[in-house]
Amino acid sequence: MKLEVMEVELVITPSALSCFKGEWGFVDGEVIRIFVRYVSGGEVPFAFGITRDSPLDAAVTTVLDRVTFFMERKDVWFMEGKSLKIDYQGEIIVFQFE
């Protein structure tokens, strides 16, 4: 079965990148996967996760200051064709749909 990829965009803000490099220890040349994970059976059962990884079937990729962020084809369903903006606000990483 082939998954249809919706048109999506992955945006990493400069403040989020600064947090990733300064506090999380990401360095130039790293490849970072944004993925969807099950967290509970409650009102919001899914959330995003972040990990160092290599793409197998990347659907969307963003390179910012020599760090590559990507989402696999199997995870973009959660975005429903919207853009995902990752920001750093008030000492936390925030995922926003636009």
Per residue in 14-24, pLDDT (tens digit) is: 999 999 999 99
Domain ranges of the chain: 9-97
**Token digits for 9?**
């965009």
* Whether the predicted pLDDT of 8 surpasses 80: no
Residue-wise pLDDT for 28-77, tens only, equals 999 999 988 776 766 666 778 899 999 999 988 999 999 999 999 888 87
* Whether the predicted pLDDT of 88 surpasses 90: yes
For 46, other C-beta atoms within 10 Å of its C-beta total 12
Q: Is the dihedral of CA 56, 93, 76, 49 positive or negative?
A: positive
Superfamily (CATH H level) for 9-97:
HesB-like domain (2.60.300.12)
The model carries a pTM of 0.83
